[in-house]
Amino acid sequence: MKTEFTPTRAALLGGAALALALTAMPSGAQDHTEGAAQSYSPSLTTLAEINVEIPGRKPDDPVITDEEFQRAANIYFERCAGCHGVLRKGATGKPLTPDVTRDLGYDYVHSFITYGSPAGMPNWGSSGQLSEEDVDLMARYVLMEPPAPPEFGMPEMKNSWKVIVAPEDRPTSKQNDWDIENLMSVTLRDSGEIALIDGASYEIKTIIKTGYAVHISRISASGRYLFVIGRDAKVVMIDLWMETPAPVAEIKIGSEARSIETSKFEGWEDKLAIAGAYWPPQYVIMDGATLEPLKIVSTRGNVYDEQTYHPEPRVASILASHYKPEFIVNVKETGKILLVDYTDLKNLKTTEIEAERFLHDGGLDSTHRYFMVAANARNKIAVVDTKEGKLTALVDTEGQTPHPGRGANFIHPVFGPVWSTSHLGDDSVALIGTDPEHHPDQAWKLVDSFYALGGGSLFIKTHPNSDHLYVDATLNPDEETSAGVAVFKISEMTADADPEFTTLPIGEWAGIADGQPRVVQPEFNKDGTEVWFSVWNAKDKESAIVVVDDKTLELKKVIKDPRLITPTGKFNVFNTGKDIY
């Protein structure tokens, strides 16, 4: 087991530079002139598109015009809110409210914005990411009271809600000859679309307009409906039974969001959907056939450990329990995992589990009983028993900023069943034992950790039919590293030595000459015989999807098409719907 980590340059990639990056910024001085972030649009948010109401001015406020204030608010929402919070109350980063910034003074704040800090503040000015004029503007802006984006409640949701095809007008049986279970729903980030690609023929079956920068795709329990949610908080529901699958309902649930899920417990299949928002901090439960909003619940409240009020605890990942009629809702800033009983929305019952702060992404273990979620800024994995409804363990990954996606479950030759995560902040892979019945000594403990290709990993993946574990290095600033993938052979892993890995040159195989394409998110086909990789380039350059034979690790197919604009996340319908990862 590796006991010491050497953070790579990936630890220096904080801020709002890449669409898939965490809002939690790892520590380390940050030079934004050298990272791959410059190849992409810096915007991670749609809040920057909103004109905010300027708070009441005070006599001692800095001189700033209305136009300058709006520009400063846009810059803040794009680049700063992920760490410091929409209301500047602090999240992963420190508070930037006037009671703090005015004590520091204009000169200090100006210097801090310009040069950054070893604790993780980007050097926005010296890197050239902000002009001298913008640094001056932002230094003045944070001395003033912060504006609040508008709330988004039931009237706004109802106004945005559209039933495009009523349930009674939809097909009563499948009207196409597509192998729906082997479809890939592929996010086309910058075109505001998804592509549905056939997993056998590699044909792009259709392109569907969605919201901006779809974050995830989720499948209803029956496998019929595909739900996507964009960063603009727009949910689109797609009927895969139609002759050509198309949207049948849509809704906006806020100004910015990340998560969507549907009910999966027996007897509740396809009946409800739930979406969680970053702004306003809330989740909404909807009708599973029409997306009609039924129940909005705010997540504002007290941080679990400090017991202090937080005004904007964002809703991160949401999963559906297989053991109870419950949704598993992760509230990032307060460190709480909510088990929401959806059987009676009028008398809503919620189990509130104190876990750890800055909850982000995660998935279920191989039995679907235990939920594993990364508290990324605290370098821990929280384990929840969804059957008993309580916290089982908090596991330190010994790596920096775990980012598992949904994680990867496999049988280790020595440790038995494990769940694994890679990390954004260093090049480590952590394995956590998940079998309390047959391997009690290893259960809910870090049983092994070892080096992968490089830091900046976003996703780790395997499949029950595969003997390979794939780890990307998407955010690594080194071009060759970010264009490759590490592959470990599971059957050859031991307890005594770090496993060796093979590097697949996915970017080279894609044959893209222009730009700096980055490889992201391994995703298996239904049978676990192929693994697909997005080769994600700038929006004005060529991108691709590369398909690899899992048995031989040889190139099988390169999918290229002018319509594949910034492909990022890919979600196989069967594996996603059945929580196989």
Catalytic residues: 80, 83-84, 121, 360, 403
Distance between CA 340 and CA 331 in Å, rounded?
12
Helix locations, 85-227, DSSP H: 98-104, 106-115, 132-141, 154-160
Give the 3-state secondary structure of residue 122: strand
Distance between CA 379 and CA 394 in Å, rounded?
10
Give the 3-state secondary structure of residue 349: strand
**Strand pairing category for 336-341 and 370-375:** unpaired
Distance between CA 47 and CA 151 in Å, rounded?
12
Q: Which residue has the tokens 């300027």?
A: 54
Distance between CA 556 and CA 547 in Å, rounded?
5
Residue 26 near residue 475, CB atoms below 8 Å: no
Question: Which residues have a Cβ under 8 Å from the Cβ of 406 and sit 6 or more positions away?
Answer: 361, 362, 363, 364, 579, 581
Distance between CA 235 and CA 210 in Å, rounded?
8
Burial of 349 (0-12, 13-18, 19+ CB in 10 A): exposed
Determine which helix (DSSP H) or strand (DSSP E) holds 67, and give its type and residue range. Answer: helix 66-79
Using CA atoms in the order 25, 29, 33, 36, what is the torsion angle rounded to 10 degrees? -40
Q: Per-residue DSSP letters for 467-510?
A: SEEEEE-TT-SSHHHHT-EEEEEGGG--SSSPPPEEEE-HHHHH
Residue 9 near residue 477, CB atoms below 8 Å: yes
Q: Longest Cα pair distance anywhere in the chain, in angstroms?
A: 71
Amino acid at the residue 539: K
